[in-house]
Structure 1
Amino acid sequence: MESGAGPWTPARRKESFRPPAPHMRERYTGKMLVWINGQISPPADAKISIFDRGFLYGDAVYELIRFFDGYGIEMDRHRSRLARSLRKIGIAGFEPERMDSICRELLEELGSGDATVYLQVTRGVQIPRMHAPAENLEPNVIAIATKASPLDRSAGPEKVRTILLEDERRVRCDVKATNLLVNVLGTMDATQAGADEPIFVHDGAITETASANVFIVEQDRVITPPLGGSRSILPGVMRAQTLEIAGELGLRCLEERVSLERLDRASEAFITSSRRLVAAITEIDGKLVNSGTPGPVTLAIHENMLSRIEGAIAAFSTH
């Protein structure tokens, strides 16, 4: 990496948070619909009990699925991960297979096949409030569909600026739960530092960002932190696809500890997520990565991923 402004520390966090500048906000067309337990409504009319355990405790799990032209990216992996998350925290009463029909219903009402769908399953409503959940609670299911941009090959991978932050999260980061306060604070710190994402650091090694998995490139090797390391990370669906793509491109795929020294020596770095697909890390703590541009491996993986999606859309549209 090339020298720059230097590390960010949470001590510089301001009590009064300034929202991100317009160019740093996610670009949506604005149309949004909400599905709650089978009822679709506009956002202003969406209501849920204040005694819902998801609201009170973050006692809920979620998935975010990106749709292009009606095709949901990696739906099988999203279903499997949702089933795993529900099982890990003991929420019963919702079958992950229902996710498909909920998404289809929302997209039809939205009138767009280009969207994100955020689906959340909470443990349900419990009165009075108490930490120990009652038996046989009925889960609440919430889905939010937001119209998004269509697939655009000409745009290239998004560029993200990052900062390094100590990972203060709890250990069960492998469960996609809604308790994301540290992720929120980290993103606030990144925004205040003029960046887009925090890269969390635990015991001298990186884990993930607030909303994505991290990869680095060393010559012909693509490396990402392991799922079963000293600090658990989320098994991202696009992380899994990226490892497949890198292998198809003839690259060596390694799931290994990525120390800060190793990150500093990397020729390229990028993140993967359902929302961003592949995005190039162009800056870390003010230091440029690959002169602030996406590197050849990042570009190749991004290009291959778009080709995969286009092929899947074509197959989906013929059914």
Structure 2
Amino acid sequence: MKVPGIPFKQGRNAYDDRDGQKFGIAIHATDNTATAEAEASYATRRTDGVGSHFYVDGDSVVQSLDTRSRAGHAGSSTGNENGISVEITGRVSASRQWWLANVAWDRLAEVLAVVCREYDIAPRRATVAEMKANPKVRAFYGHNDMRLAWGGTSHTDPGPNFPWDHLLDRVKRAMNGDEMELTDPIKLVTGKGVAYSSPTTTVAGVLSSTNYYVLQTRNSVLAELADARVREEAILAAVTGGSQAKVLEAIQAQGEQTRRQLAEQAATEAARDAELRALVEQGQDGTLDATEVLRRMGELLATAGQGQARE
């Protein structure tokens, strides 16, 4: 998975994941103060086999590997196979106050909320005992936790003062849609906050609108099928004394009409889905301003809702 709305710079060291699954989010510290962009750039050419899925600094998140890829980040095959790596730039010795002031927490939380939903990962930190007992525990853990549970490394990051409570709280809030205004996804694309006029447009609201649209489409299809069954039964009830062939012919004609309608609806939804994906890509590559991307996405969703109402 490539998380929409953040830059993607393909890292050199991407490997096949044997079972195609991920179970945890592994938090690392780079032990330097480079930018996320610099780390992602270095990842395109490093020859030591090391890589990470995400790099994070004080104002940005950059994705380096598709989450389905296996990254060399843990020092152990268990950690590499099962964990999605997040490298946050900062010293292992940094104070709690430094961490709180120098990480793009809102942006990181939004990204990790997407990852958690995709892989059913709980926003909590696993204990080393849990990790030893179950290497596929669905939770967060640090590089040091992986060292203690699975060996293979001497690294102790992200360090004793890393604010785990703050990170997990932000991810939980992002997953719940709490206090996440529409300026946050705009920052994911541009790095800058932009005011947006609609008082109801939050990240949760956009997601809810999208989910509502999907559910409405599904319900519309089910309703069409139910109506077709009712019409078929009505034909059977109305045709008395007619030949069986005529009854079957009438049912077949009605069924064909219903299938044509459903096929047309499916084609319309597929075209709209392609437009939405294209808009996300245009926002990522800078072809369109993030505000314009969101405006157009809103128009597409609104048009979809109007279409459902007419039907």
Structure number with the bigger relative contact order (C-alpha 8 A, sep ≥ 6) is 1
Which structure has the greater CA radius of gyration? 2
Bigger share in strand = 1
Normalising by the residue count of structure 2, what TM-score does the alignment of the two structures yield? 0.25
Normalising by the residue count of structure 1, what TM-score does the alignment of the two structures yield? 0.25
